[in-house]
Structure 1
Amino acid sequence: MFMNCRRVKKCQFLRLISMCCVMSLLMVCWDHVDHHVVSHVKSYSYRYLINSYDFINKSLSVSPEEAARFGSYPYLLNNKDICKDQDVLLLLFVKSSPGNLKRRQAIRSTWGNESYISHELGVVVKVVFAMGAHPDVLSESVIQKKLHRDLHKEHKNHGDLVQQDFLDTFHNLTVKLLLQFRWTHENCAHAHFLMTADDDVFIHLPNLVRYLQDLRRQNVQNLWVGHVHRGAPPVRRRDSKYYMPFDMYQWSSYPDYTAGAGYVVSGDVAAKIYQASLSLNASMYIDDVFMGICAIAAGVSPQEHVYFSGEGKTPYHPCIFEKMITSHGHEDDIRYLWKAATDPQVEGISSGLVGKLYCTAVKLTLLCKPYFTNTYSCTAAFT
């Protein structure tokens, strides 16, 4: 009996110590817990119970004159004839920065090689690099002057740069979005599809072209496809890159939107988004979210495609390459991945019963992990 009492007291003591440890951990990490738990509960409640995003558009509506000041920057570099007299299947805008010459060269020599696309895939895809001015553009340093000369030389050689006179910074990404839709409206409105992507994104053009050709044959409209974020909460931590103050956006949830790393819209949607942007306050500097706000005004909803990556890099394997469309986070390995992903041995690797079972097992192993990678979802293993 004496031993049982000692055991009980010891057990209670251990529970007390454990509870104190848990409470201490919660107190230390409360901000983290609050952001990742409480904010998501609020967000999903708003997204699925209230879902009154029409209020957002009303609050952000401005006069055409006020809206114009967000996207009316003069062009520093331009080529209005990129799409002229051509049946353009896809106008592909790559969001770049003035100093990212190596990335642009890697893209031009791999998935963005228009000659390859034309001769091997039999379609017209126009690749255009969108950018603002270097943040230190006012500096008179030798480096800045060299960068200016290099950009003009690059544009003279390739004719694929579109640059406006705004500072190329994170907080001007929405301005860069407006640039893309405005330029499309003015110079390439006849393109069947418009895509926007970061310059560290790998795009499997053969797979994307096949996908878009099928959609074109079906005369698909109202298309906005990519890696969809639903019910994402605004980040309220001031130390975050994505901090969103209440006075700019007071709601608990963002509208549905696709990851800005890479998504595709049909030509009719591009026109609708441009028109919607002419009456909205574009001070919302997270361009993905602003796209979602424009889409509400345009009456368009994003559609999930399991082979469009989010912010994560996709696993390297032939079973993945066979159906991949985009992968994010490729600054130095674009050329290697292009060679590996377009190797003739990749095609048909999942053909036949054995091939399908093999690739399903591989993709289950690579994609269905118990932690979040923000790349292809587990459902991609079954497609």
Structure 2
Amino acid sequence: MFVNFRRIRKCQCVQLITTCLVLSVVMVCWEQLDSSVVSHVKSYSYRYLINRYTFINKSFTIPRKEALSFSNYRYRLNHPDKCSGQDVLLLLFVKTSPENTERRRAIRSTWGNETYIRQALGVNVRVVFALGVPQSKQQHQALGERSRLGLQETLVREDRLHGDLVQQDFVDTFHNLTLKLIMQFRWAHAHCGHARFLMTADDDIFVHMPNLVRYLQEEAKRGVTDFWVGRVHRGAPPIRRKDSKYYVPFEMYQWTSYPDYTAGAGYVVSRDVADKIYQASLTLNASLYIDDVFMGICANAMGVSPQEHVYFSGEGKAPYHLCIYDKMMTSHGHVADIYHLWKAATDPRVKRAASGLMGRLYCTVVKLTLLCKPYYFNTYPCKAAFL
């Protein structure tokens, strides 16, 4: 038998080069991979084996006077009569930044249009945009003092036109998101405590308002309490990498696992839970700037647990398909496409195509194809295909 030794040597050389490349990549990524794996193992162990979050409640409890320092900011823009004299099904706070004018305009024209909701769906939903003041020059080099003041004047004009901005005088930054969360529950308690549900959402989220309204109406008929629904994170570990946006130092949070919480992109609570969160915020240290985690700490202190809904997305964007639209509640990461998505998702043909035995079977197959993939992270889970 003739053996081509030159060819064998060439194959061995290719294998050696490939092995070296793979090992190089592994060596570069190992520290980050190892840290992530270890932190998740520790976190899940704490969550499922120990689960002593009572220590967290005690460590975050501070005197009431000190806790009030996180909520006593002066209102720059406010509409205390927004809910007055009306039966409100849902009070919806949209977390927005001062410069995101186009996002607010798009929401008002689509899923957050109060007139459409009242006329087409027959309920009152109050949409309020929550924000702080524009950043100063020291905090944002691209934005000078003159531009900062000009942006505030623009916000005042926008609010005069639409009457839906609620602004306190803390600086609007990522690290002040917890202040924005506290502001929402404080405002709801003071001015819209009779709303049956409260929702908080990002300004790049899409809400399928017809589906959400129907869902909340059914829950309201059942007289639901202790209701907190969204995309649930269980046993999530704090991120200790300093280069991460979500970095939390050990001094700020010393445990290996967060209490269960819902993704801050969009979640809904019943009015009794909204009041409990407000009460908890009056006695807890709000220096933790990951707002959805702080929400979990408040809820844990009051004995409230989040409930998973498969059609609330986390940070992920849902696939574009009428079978997805039929059940969709929220989808994250929509800015430029929001008008198109609103038109497509609320088209009457969606319900017709997904109804009946054949329609349901067709949509099950489609959703299995779209959702049951390993690279679809933080959007709807595979089990949503069967619901």
Q: What letter corresponds to residue 121 of structure 1 in structure 2?
A: L
For normalisation by structure 1, the TM-score amounts to 0.93
The answer on whether the counterparts of 1:60 and 1:280 sit within 8 Å (CA) in structure 2 is: yes
Q: CA deviation at 1:37?
A: 1.1
Tell me if structure 2 keeps the 8 A contact 1:322–1:348. no
8 Å contact from structure 1 (residues 307, 324) kept in 2: yes
Normalised TM-score (structure 2): 0.92
Matched, 1:373 2:377: yes
Query: Could you say which residue in structure 2 is the equivalent of 1:77?
Result: 77
The 1-side partners of 2:285 and 2:47 are apart by 22
Equivalent position amino acid for 1:114 in 2: E
The one-letter code of the counterpart of 1:64 is R
Q: Choose which of 294, 297, 312 in structure 1 pairs with 2:298.
A: 294
Gap change, CA 1:362 and 1:48, over 3 Å in 2: same
Check if 1:111 corresponds to 2:115: no
What pairs up with 1:260-279 in 2 under 5 angstroms?
Answer: 260-279=264-283
- Whether contact under 8 Å (1:235, 1:242) holds in the other structure is yes
| Other-structure match for 1:335 | 339
Deviation at 1:16, TM superposition (A): 10
Distance in structure 1 (CA, Å) of the matches to 2:105 and 2:137: 22
Measured in 1, the distance between the counterparts of 2:353 and 2:376 equals 27
Distance 1:152 1:121 in 2: 31
Do 1:35 and 1:235's aligned partners in 2 also have CA atoms closer than 8 Å?
no
- Once the two structures are superposed, what CA deviation does each residue of 1:29-59 show, in whole Å capped at 9, x if it has no partner? 2222123311111111111011111110101
Q: How does 1:5-154 map to 2 (within 5 A)?
A: 25-136=25-136, 141-154=145-158
Distance 1:79 1:382 in 2: 43
Partner of 2:353, secondary structure, is coil
Q: Is the 8 Å Cα contact of residues 259 and 288 (structure 1) preserved in structure 2? A: yes
C-alpha spacing 1:14/1:337, structure 2 compared with 1 (3 Å): closer
Letter in 1 for 2:107: I
Contact between 2:135 and 2:148, CA under 8 Å: does it hold in 1? no
Residue equivalent to 2:368: 364
Which residue of structure 2 aligns with residue 197 of structure 1?
Answer: 201
Q: Is the 8 A contact 2:134 2:152 kept in 1?
A: no
1:125 is paired with a residue of what secondary structure?
strand
- Map Cα deviations across residues 201-220 of structure 1 (whole Å, 9 max, x no partner): 00000000000000000000
Gaps of 5+ in 1: 4-12
Q: In structure 2, what is the Cα distance between the partners aligned to 1:261 and 1:207? A: 17
Q: For 2:117, give the aligned amino acid.
A: I
Q: Report the Cα distance in structure 1 between the residues aligned to 2:231 and 2:126, rounded to whole angstroms.
A: 23
2:309 maps to what in 1? Answer: 305
Moved more, 367-376 or 173-182: 367-376
Give 1:357 shift. Answer: 1.1
1:110 CA displacement: 0.5
Per the alignment, residue 163 of structure 1 pairs with 167
Distance 1:159 1:215 in 2: 29
| Runs of 5+ consecutive residues of structure 2 not aligned to the other structure | 4-12
Q: CA RMSD in A?
A: 2.1
Deviation at 1:134, TM superposition (A): 0.6
Compute the displacement of 1:351 (Å): 1.6
Q: By how many angstroms is 1:19 displaced?
A: 8.4
Q: State the AA in 2 paired with 1:53.
A: Y
CA distance in 2, matches of 1:110, 1:322: 17
- Deviation, structure 1 residue 146: 2.4
Please show how residues 187-226 of structure 1 align to structure 2 within 5 Å.
187-226=191-230
Shift of 1:149: 1.7
- Stretch of structure 1 that moved more, 140-149 or 57-66: 140-149
Instruction: Give me the whole-angstrom Cα distance separating, in 2, the residues matched to 1:137 and 1:220.
Output: 47
Alignment counterpart, residue 237 of structure 1, candidates 235, 241, 264: 241
Letter in 2 for 1:52: R
Secondary structure in 2 aligned to 1:348?
helix
* Distance (Å, rounded) in 2 between the aligned partners of 1:263 and 1:157: 28
Q: Deviations over 1:154-174 (max 9, x none)?
A: 111111100000010000000
Instruction: Give the whole-Å Cα distance in 1 for the aligned partners of 2:187 and 2:81.
Output: 11
Conserved? CA contact 2:137–2:145, under 8 Å:
no
